[in-house]
């Protein structure tokens, strides 16, 4: 087993004046699967995961302390850097009622702030299409709004799974200790500018 240190890349600050990319930009950029950090000169690509990578994906998700259920390698995209292997992952999970959930977005610590999570999210959004749902800690709502997601309030209409997740999160004190809550968000296919 490989030792690693993970963190959710999306915790890195994003400039306030950046607006989400238009859908045609996502299609062009994600179709190639490549991204390069201009500042560092490091490149990586996003591709479908292979079955042999599932143990590492599971380790990454558990280390990030995010929902470890429903980890099917066939739904994952992985970000891979030459000479370093997997540096990030994410998936879209289908639910029984037909809804789809953007989930398991994790990036290894030394690759945070280099656009890995952004490219993974863009690729997964393109693959899944709208509508797409997600749960995240409330501190990440602003990030996902930049991709066109909007927060769904507790009393608003939402799939049963997400209503259950919200109730379950209330049982755990982890988020409350940080002054946060579990947010439910949805994307309808539009990319509004930042508010």
Spatial separation of the C-alpha atoms in residues 179 and 104, rounded to whole Å: 22
Please check the confidence at residue 92 and state whether its pLDDT lies above 60.
yes
Computed from CA positions of residues 147, 148, 153, 156, in that sequence, does the dihedral angle turn out positive or negative?
Answer: negative
Residue 169, pLDDT score: 79
Residue 171, pLDDT score: 60
Q: Mean pLDDT highest for which of 12-26, 40-54, 139-153?
A: 139-153
pTM of the model: 0.76
Tens-digit pLDDT profile for residues 20-62: 444 443 333 434 444 443 334 568 999 999 999 999 999 999 9
Contacts of 155 (CB under 8 A, 6+ apart): none
Smallest CA-to-CA distance from 162 within 194, 132, 188, 184 is with 184
- Is 110 or 32 the better-scoring residue by pLDDT? 110
Domain annotation for the chain: domains and CATH numbers = 6-187 (3.40.630.30)
What mean pLDDT do residues 133-141 have?
Answer: 93
Residue 144, pLDDT score: 94
- Is 1 or 51 the better-scoring residue by pLDDT? 51
């Amino acid at each position: 087993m490989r030792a690693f240190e993970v963190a959710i890349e999306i915790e890195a600050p994003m400039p306030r004046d950046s607006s989400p990319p238009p859908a045609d930009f996502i299609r062009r950029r994600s179709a190639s699967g490549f991204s390069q950090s201009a500042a560092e000169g490091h490149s990586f690509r996003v591709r479908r995961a292979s079955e042999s990578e599932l143990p590492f994906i599971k380790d990454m998700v558990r280390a990030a302390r995010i929902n470890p259920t429903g980890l099917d390698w066939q739904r994952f995209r992985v970000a891979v850097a030459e000479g370093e292997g997997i540096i990030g992952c994410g998936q879209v999970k289908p639910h029984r009622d037909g809804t789809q959930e953007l989930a398991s977005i994790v990036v290894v610590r030394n690759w945070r702030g280099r656009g890995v999570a952004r490219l993974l999210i863009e690729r997964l959004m393109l693959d899944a299409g709208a509508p797409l749902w997600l749960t995240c800690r409330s501190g990440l709502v602003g990030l996902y709004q930049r991709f066109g997601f909007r927060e769904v309030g507790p009393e608003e209409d939402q799939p049963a799974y997400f209503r259950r997740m919200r109730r379950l999160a209330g049982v755990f004190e982890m988020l409350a200790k940080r002054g946060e809550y579990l947010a439910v968000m949805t994307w309808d296919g539009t990319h509004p500018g930042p508010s």
